[in-house]
Every structure is written in C-alpha cells, then in structure tokens.
A = this chain, B = another copy of it.
Amino acid sequence: MKILVVNPNTSEEFNRKLEQAAKEYALPPTEVKVISPASGPKSIEGIYDEALSVQGTLDAFIDREKEFDGFVLACYSDPLVVYAMREITTKPVLGIAEASVHLACLLGNKFSIVTTNDRWEPLLHEAVRKYGVESRCASVRTTGLRVLDLEGEGEGAVEKAIEREALAAVKEDGAEVICLGCAGMSGFDKALEKKLGVPVLDGFVCALKLLELFDQYGIRHSKILTYAAPESKELTCLPSRFSKAYLKDR
C-alpha cells in the first residue's frame, strides 16, 4: 500500500524523523511518502499555528489524494484537518494522537502523554476526552520545552526532560504506558522504553501500522454520518482544487 504522511508544519527535520521511523517499521510492500505543505508555520504550538496550517495541509492532501491508499496527519493533537480529509476521501486517514491512545489502552490500564509546551496539557486532555478514553488517561505531562527544541542539537536535554516527565507519570500518576506527545519525538520510543520498563508509543508508528492493518483487513472509515461527503457549494477566492474535492465521492 502507498501511505502519504502529511506533516502539517514545514519542519524538514520532522520529516526526516518520520521517514526514518517509516523505514524501520513499515512492511516491505508499504511505500511511505512524507510531505509538508507548501505554506504554513514551522511548528504547531497551539491553535493559531494549527489554523495557519489548515489550508496548506488540505491543499497538499487534495493534490495527492488519488495516488495514495491511506493518510497519516502527523501532528500530535486532534487536528481539524483530519476530519476535513475524512469527509473528502473514502480512504483511511489517521491522526497520530488518536492512533496512539487507542493502542495504549490495549497495552495497559492507564496511559500518560508526555508532550512539549504547557498549552498542550489542556488541549490534549480535551482530545483524549473527545476520543472517549479519559478514564484511561493517567495524565498529560509537559516538558515546558518548545516543539522546535526537539530538532536542535541539545537533544540530550530534551530527551532527559521527556524521561523525567515520563518517569513521574509512571511513579506518581499510575501510568502503565507512555505516549510520546509530539511528532518531533519520533524515534525516542525504544530508548525511553528501555529506561522506563513500560511500553512507549510513537504515535506516528501507531498510525502507520494501523493503516497497514486497515488495508490488510479491508476496512475504512464510515461515510454515513460524521464523515459523510459534504454537499458542494460555491467557494470564493479559493483554488479550484478545493471545489473539485466536493465532487469526489459522488
């Protein structure tokens, strides 16, 4: 199967990490392509950043939708654009947060998410509640570090901060599984797992492997209500490609 990974920020470093993880975990016949939108912010550290990434991300998706069999939106949050994508394709689209929390529930009684700056604590709590698994979530912990720090050289410090919060989640909050709460943390999972002695999930790998699973089992998301194809309508001052997307599933 061919999987398109859309990293909604424009950080090439992130893409390298995701490509590396895809290389490591994708099955041999799976082809994985990682892209960033042509327009948007360098990182997504809140809702304003997310909002700035929406149009570019959708654009990149619509442009390539036909060539791929499944899609990962590689931002550890509950991105609006995942739902928009599901409305205009019949192929599976997964976010990396939802992928990881549902797998986490199958591996231990409670999971915690370790993420970057403080705003994600309320935002990811909301996401977990929307996904329905709030009773399984021990905590969302933040390192206080910025997303782009994850790219830099000081990775030793970043890794240490993540380890500290993950350990606290295990010792103080009752977490039995850790979810890495940022696409930029991709690749830290196994090293952290060794240190902590509990399963550590890289949301990107979770989403990637679930898409393979969906493909092998032949399942796709439901198109009858929440993700039904939208009725077409007049668009003003938007590229024609957005209009054509309405026609897709007719």
Contacts and interface: CB of A to CB of B under 8 A. Distances in A.
Interface stretch (A50-58, A155-163, A180-188): A50-58
Contacts of A105: 98, 102, 131-132
A29 B47 CA distance: 33
A199 B222 contact: yes
Nearest to A108: B222
Nearest to A111: B222
A168 interface: no
Contacts of A42: 233-236
**Residue of A50, A201, A226, A245 contacting most chain B CB atoms (<10 Å):** A226
B233 A148 contact: yes
Given A209-B216, A230-B45, A122 B102 contact: no
A171 to B, nearest CB: 10
26 contacts: A10-B234, A38-B236, A39-B236, A41-B233, A41-B235, A42-B235, A47-B80, A47-B83, A48-B84, A48-B88, A49-B230, A51-B84, A54-B55, A56-B237, A99-B106, A102-B102, A108-B221, A108-B226, A117-B231, A119-B226, A122-B225, A129-B130, A130-B130, A176-B222, A209-B213, A209-B217
